[in-house]
Amino acid sequence: MNNIQEILAYNKSFVETKEYEKYTASKFPTKKMVIITCMDTRLVEMLPKAMNLKNGDVKIIKNAGAIISQPFGSVMRSVLVAIYELGADEVLVVGHTECGMASLHAETMIGHMTERGISEEVMSTLENSGIRLQKWLRGFDSVEEGVKGTVDVIKKHPLLPPNVPVHGMVIDSATGELDLVADGYGQQASL
């Protein structure tokens, strides 16, 4: 049985036994918060447990490294949707220890791409179109600095209401311990 077949078989039982009932929640976050965090597999269950969050409490946006690299990209759009359409009034960026983005090297990843069949012609076309893969695929040197950088991108966004606090934390991916690296209370977005 492959992954998709396994998922569908489990899901059939999940629906038939009404397991979904214990996860019933509104689309509006009860804690009025949106969290941007990493897609790391260790955080799937640990992050909500370490923060005492249950289904329906917050909006969670996941991507590589909890980084907003494009101020007008899909992650920031999701933050703004959570604020303007879904009732969030607070933003929290959560990075984690041992993040793969801290050791991401564009040259290595580009090498992996060509090994997996992306042609030199495609790479050349992208570069000649103004897409700088070396910059786009860069990681960060420090998780704390990565979190603070994303907090700064959000706080300075021209469409963020000035009264929305933006916080930053780093979670230990082994223990779940949280470290506050940016406290957004009392700070206003600088435009």
pLDDT recorded at residue 165? 98
More confident call, 144 vs 187: 144
Q: Is 96 annotated as a binding residue?
A: yes
Domain range summary for the chain, segments of one domain joined by +? 25-104+141-182, 106-138
- Distance (Å, whole) CA 12 – CA 47: 27
Q: Does CATH place domain 25-104+141-182 in 1.10.10.10?
A: no
pLDDT digits (tens, 9 = 90+) for 25-44: 999 999 999 999 999 999 99
Could you give the strand order of the β-sheet that contains 91-96, starting from the edge strand earlier in sequence? 58-63, 33-38, 91-96, 166-171, 178-182
**Is 40 labelled a binding residue?**
yes
- 186 HSE (CA, 13 A, CB side): 2
pLDDT in tens, 74-87: 999 999 999 999 99
Task: State whether the Cα torsion 34-39-40-44 is positive or negative.
Answer: positive
